Chains A and B, each alone.
Chain A
Amino acid sequence: MNQIKRLISRNAVPILFGVVCLVGVYFAKMPGQFILMEIVKRMARNSFLVLSLIIPVAAGMGLNFGIVLGALAGQIALILATHWEWGGIGGLLATALLATPLAVLFGYLAGILLNKAKGREMITGMVMGFFANGVYQFIFLFLVGTVIPFDNPKLRISTSPGLRNTIDLYRLKGALDGIWEVRYGFTKFPMVTFIVIAVLALAIWAFFRTKLGQEFRAVGQDRHIAAVAGINVDRNRKLAIIFSTVLAAWGQLIFLQNIGTLNTYNSHEQVGTFAIAALLIGGATVTKATIAQALMGTFLFHLLFVVSPTAGQAIFGSAQVGEYFRVFVAYGIIAISLALHAWQTRTAAKASMEEDVSA
């Protein structure tokens, strides 16, 4: 009995969202086949990005709002890949290879910045994402075609500077998903994409069993003790962010090869928010995130995304209500988790201070 209680209280957030999703599914009255199709598509698209958040959480840097930088690295590589007309799985792998050094560089710079902002990594990461977005827009909306010579009618309209708003990725569309698909009713399961996600999950699991992984954990638990134990804290933190950024770049490639079009100036904007909301809905916190939580959260968050417009229509007579509701949930869950975490840390700090005094 006690065990059940513990299980429920430990997983309160995913259970609550499970209930909300069930209510949504009940009112939306959508055919099960359609829900399954949408969920499979969205899990394949997003799981990799959500998994990319786990390593910095373990290293004590909180939720990495800076994965936007990784997404940007992926997109820059994609723009070049489209320019050089790379296609198929070979083309996608080459794009990933091209994105990697960019992501390493961005992650390294982000790491330096975040090391200067210890204790406020999340807000710094978020503003960093906005800033990087500004620089990215400056380069691809202004410099390309004016300062940087670039003439490709598929990517540019010759009369104005900058890249097109949407770029068709037809050569790379489904490059990964399409290799091996298993059909079940209307649903196509992109097996290779799921295998890639499983491999990443295993790799993260194995990584935390290596020496470096243990060092990340130690840094995450207590920076000062880790430093005393001879661990180079700053270097480890930089590495954690580099890993996360590179994974996010690959994740964005998987995401975009599934969608098939690149919204040049806003495909990346919500990457951080939605991935983080999904992770938190799975029951993760600012200091602890597991692979199961990431996958569970992605499932619940996207189930909510699929059903909420129709459920909103059924309950409030307006699909718009449902659409705003899911955005509200994304922001709200982040706000609540951050607040709860700060509250708990503070209460714990107070408790230990009082202990010190009484001892």
Chain B
Amino acid sequence: MKERLTAIYHTIGLPRLIIAGFLLLLLIIASGTELSVAGLLSDALVRIGQNGIYVLAMVPSIQAGVGLNFGLPVGVICGIVGALVAMEFNLIGFTGLLTALLLAIPLAVGAGFLYALLLNRVAGQEMMVGTYVGFSVVAGMCIFWLLAPFRNPAMIWPVGGVGLRTTLTLADTFGGTLNDFLQFEIFGLTVPTGLLLFYALIVTLVWLFFKTKAGVALEVVGRNPRFAAASGLSLTKYRTLGIIMSTVLAAIGYVTYAQSFGFVQLYNGPLMTAFPAVAGVLIGGASTREAKVSHAILGVILFQTLLTVAMPVTNQLIEGNISEIARVIVSNGMILYALTRATGGEQA
């Protein structure tokens, strides 16, 4: 019995036990106040589905040996372009959602390929270069949003303004399409079935990929590049594949996020998308050199539930919006912890 408990302890790991314990404590406190625990958990479910694919996008890049993909905005921008085109033509419901996805994915493959060309040349410094490539792409696209040839009056500034608005609502097009699909309520808990099913589908696809020959090869390349090269695997090829996958997942993640959130935020909106995603996968138990699909799932559940539950509960105790600050401290603290942990090789 004791051995089994220690085995469980080692697989879950101390940080996750602490966070889970803290979550439990918060929920107990919440049940003592007038807050609805079911309502809190409903919100958490939405947030998990909304952010899950972003966190999942970290897995292929870490497994391919590229490290945490701080260049997530590269893919996110592709998702935004897809969503905008669907909105421009007033495509409603699933038509809009699928159009956005079908446009975003090939764009992300292209962008991911170019991004990989760069990252393969800067091996060892991928994270830092990725961060600033992500920032540059977001800043450069700000100019594009101003000059882009969108004509739908719901999207551009009314008289006098130039370019797309800062925040666009999806309420009239495909906002909530996945969330509302087969949505049901149980014990006051609202379940966004479509959203969770879609997340599960993507998770399964990624998990299946790692069972294929290409998936295993990609892992070998990331785990032991010398051995991989010696056994005839092309490092460049599999690293490129990992980066493209990560970028495509970011694009899909954006479309999913936007339909659930209900708005498209342009300009500096996508600037910091990478950080909560990076923190999520690390909280789930990944390191800069190893990540499993299960880490991404566990991470997004713990991190997003923590953020959703912590805000209203702490608001009962102290005034003001502490959730934003908690997010900054927890996510960056987690990233710092991962970066300063001895991992053998020198990788940035």
What residues make up the interface of A, taking CB atoms closer than 8 Å to B?
A: 113, 116-120, 122-124, 126-128, 130-131, 133-135, 137-138, 141-142, 146, 160-162, 316-318, 320-321, 324-325, 327-328, 330-332, 334-335, 338-339, 341-343, 345-346
Other CB < 8 Å A-B pairs besides A316-B147, A318-B163, A332-B140, 12 of them? A113-B336, A116-B341, A123-B70, A127-B332, A131-B332, A134-B333, A142-B320, A331-B136, A339-B121, A339-B125, A339-B133, A346-B121
Give min CB distance, A337 to chain B, whole Å.
Answer: 9
Contact yes or no, B319 A161, CB < 8 A = yes
Contact yes or no, A338 B129, CB < 8 A = yes
Q: Chain A binding site: helix, strand, loop or mixed by DSSP?
A: helix
What residues make up the interface of B, taking CB atoms closer than 8 Å to A?
A: 70, 118, 121-125, 127-129, 131-133, 135-136, 138-140, 142-143, 146-147, 162-163, 267, 275, 318-320, 322, 325, 328-329, 332-333, 335-336, 339-342, 346-348
Residues of B within 8 A of A162 (CB): 320
Residues of A within 8 A of B140 (CB): 328, 332
Give min CB distance, B121 to chain A, whole Å.
Answer: 5
Give min CB distance, A35 to chain B, whole Å.
Answer: 23
Residues of B within 8 A of A331 (CB): 132, 135-136, 138-139
Contact yes or no, A141 B348, CB < 8 A = no
Contact yes or no, A130 B122, CB < 8 A = no
User: With A and B bound together, what is the CA distance between A161 and B300 in angstroms?
Assistant: 31
Residues of B within 8 A of A317 (CB): 162
User: With A and B bound together, what is the CA distance between A325 and B142 in angstroms?
Assistant: 8
User: With A and B bound together, what is the CA distance between A141 and B133 in angstroms?
Assistant: 32
Between A and B, how many residue pairs show CB distances below 8 Å? 140
Give min CB distance, A200 to chain B, whole Å.
Answer: 27
Residues of A within 8 A of B342 (CB): 116
Contact yes or no, A342 B125, CB < 8 A = yes
Q: A130-B332, A160-B320 are in contact. Are A321 and B129 (CB under 8 A)?
A: no
Contact yes or no, A335 B320, CB < 8 A = no
**Which chain A residue shows the least CB distance to B135?**
A331
Which of B124, B319, B336 is within 8 Å of A127, CB to CB? Answer: B336
Residues of A within 8 A of B162 (CB): 317-318, 320
Which of A123, A335, A346 has its CB near the most chain B CB atoms (within 10 A)? Answer: A123
Q: List 5 A-B contacts (CB under 8 A).
A: A113-B340, A134-B328, A331-B135, A339-B129, A342-B123
Contact yes or no, B348 A120, CB < 8 A = yes
Give min CB distance, B123 to chain A, whole Å.
Answer: 6
User: With A and B bound together, what is the CA distance between A122 and B124 in angstroms?
Assistant: 12
Residues of B within 8 A of A123 (CB): 70, 127-128, 131, 339, 348
User: With A and B bound together, what is the CA distance between A138 and B340 in angstroms?
Assistant: 23
Which of B131, B136, B322 is within 8 Å of A126, CB to CB? Answer: B131
**Which chain B residue shows the least CB distance to A124?**
B339
**Which chain B residue shows the least CB distance to A320?**
B146
Contact yes or no, B348 A119, CB < 8 A = yes
User: With A and B bound together, what is the CA distance between A130 and B322 in angstroms?
Assistant: 16
Residues of A within 8 A of B328 (CB): 130-131, 133-134, 137
Q: Would you list the 5 A-B pairs with minimal beta carbon distance, nearest first? A: A119-B346, A120-B348, A134-B328, A342-B122, A342-B125
User: With A and B bound together, what is the CA distance between A92 and B328 in angstroms?
Assistant: 32
